[in-house]
């Protein structure tokens, strides 16, 4: 073996020994570095823990506020129902002053049944002979709740209040068929001569069969010779068959001996 070959072999042995000696140290250093990195990912300092605690506290506060809101809404709903029941009970027992107070409170709370509160308040005021107050309450109901299911009942009450206050109803001003017939019926009690042509106009007009049937009933109840004459015309066939049948029936009920 030459001197150069011997030197090269010796160099290789030294390099291999160096690698073997340093490899465990490198491995240990890498493992230690991996442990430090992993530990830093898992470990959370005081700032991070505080943020998590604050987040949990905010979430709990939000849930508490939502529960308080639900509780307030339920208390309000219970109070509205309580006022309505107390007002109706007062009406049933003819305690109209108390009923008006309860229904005013109900209307002032402006809940889901505020329109009902206004109607029954006007009803109680009418019973107390507070005609102007009742009419003002009805006007308030129509203004605040024009689509309310209580509007028609309020309009009927309005006709009654005005009639009892000495204001004759005006049927021709009513757009609703049912209200028109109610107004004519009210007028029949105070001014039959004015009401009779209005009834005849309804019977000969283009109104619905339901409107004509109600007008015929109001006419039959009058019992005057003029009303019997109109009924007789209809009974002889000068109208549709259903109205004719009703006219014959009403003549038998209200017409007396002359109807034969």
- Examine the domain organization and report whether 89 and 159 are in the same domain: yes
The residue among 167, 190, 217 that closes a domain is 167
Residue with tokens 């307030």: 72
The secondary structure of residue 257, as a DSSP letter, is G
- Examine the domain organization and report whether 119 and 183 are in the same domain: no
- Examine the domain organization and report whether 184 and 227 are in the same domain: yes
pLDDT > 90? residue 137 = yes
Which H or E run includes 212? helix 209-222
Which H or E run includes 231? helix 225-235
- Examine the domain organization and report whether 76 and 139 are in the same domain: yes
Q: What is the CATH number of the domain that holds 92?
A: 1.25.40.10
Alpha-carbon gap, residue 253 to 129, rounded angstroms: 36
- Examine the domain organization and report whether 93 and 182 are in the same domain: no
Please check whether residue 88 lies inside any domain of the structure: yes
- Examine the domain organization and report whether 108 and 187 are in the same domain: no
pLDDT > 70? residue 130 = yes
The residue among 121, 144, 167 that closes a domain is 167
> Helices 177-190 and 192-204, interaxial angle, to 10°?
150
- Examine the domain organization and report whether 198 and 121 are in the same domain: no
Residue with tokens 């005005």: 162
Does the global pTM surpass 0.75?
Answer: no
What is the Cα 77 distance to its own chain's centre? 13
Average pLDDT value for residue range 35-54: 65
pLDDT digits (tens, 9 = 90+) for 145-198: 999 999 999 999 998 898 888 887 788 778 888 888 888 888 887 788 888 888
pLDDT digits (tens, 9 = 90+) for 150-165: 999 999 999 889 888 8
Q: Which domain holds residue 161?
A: 69-167
Percent of the residues in the chain that have a pLDDT greater than 70, as a whole number: 79
Please check whether residue 3 lies inside any domain of the structure: no
- Examine the domain organization and report whether 85 and 106 are in the same domain: yes
- Examine the domain organization and report whether 213 and 134 are in the same domain: no
What pLDDT is recorded for position 21? 47
- Examine the domain organization and report whether 155 and 73 are in the same domain: yes
> What is the number of domains present in the chain?
2
Query: Which positions ≥6 away from 210 have C-beta within 8 Å?
Result: 177
What pLDDT is recorded for position 228? 85
pLDDT > 60? residue 23 = no
Please check whether residue 89 lies inside any domain of the structure: yes
């Amino acid at each position: 073996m030459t001197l150069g070959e011997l030197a090269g072999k010796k160099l290789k042995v030294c390099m291999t020994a160096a690698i073997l000696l340093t490899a465990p140290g490198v491995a240990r250093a890498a493992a230690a570095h991996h442990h430090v990195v992993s530990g830093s990912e898992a470990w959370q300092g005081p700032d991070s823990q505080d943020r998590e605690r604050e987040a949990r506290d905010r979430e709990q506060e939000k849930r508490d506020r939502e529960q308080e809101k639900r509780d307030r809404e339920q208390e309000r709903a219970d109070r509205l129902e309580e006022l309505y029941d107390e007002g109706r009970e007062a009406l049933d027992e003819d305690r109209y002053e108390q009923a008006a107070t309860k229904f005013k409170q109900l209307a002032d709370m402006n809940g889901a049944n505020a329109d009902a509160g206004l109607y029954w308040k006007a009803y109680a005021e009418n019973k107390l002979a507070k005609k102007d107050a009742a009419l003002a309450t009805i006007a308030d109901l129509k203004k605040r709740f024009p689509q309310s299911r209580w509007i028609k009942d309020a309009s009927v009450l309005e006709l009654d209040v005005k009639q009892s206050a000495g204001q004759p109803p005006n049927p021709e001003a009513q757009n609703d068929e049912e209200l028109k017939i109610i107004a004519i019926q009210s007028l029949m009690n105070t001014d039959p001569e004015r009401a009779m042509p209005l009834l005849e106009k309804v019977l000969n007009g283009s109104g619905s069969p339901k409107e004509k049937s109600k007008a015929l009933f109001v006419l039959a109840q009058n019992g005057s010779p003029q009303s019997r004459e109109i009924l007789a015309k209809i009974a002889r066939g000068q109208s549709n068959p259903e109205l004719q049948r009703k006219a014959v029936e009403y003549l038998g009920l209200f017409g007396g001996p002359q109807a034969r």
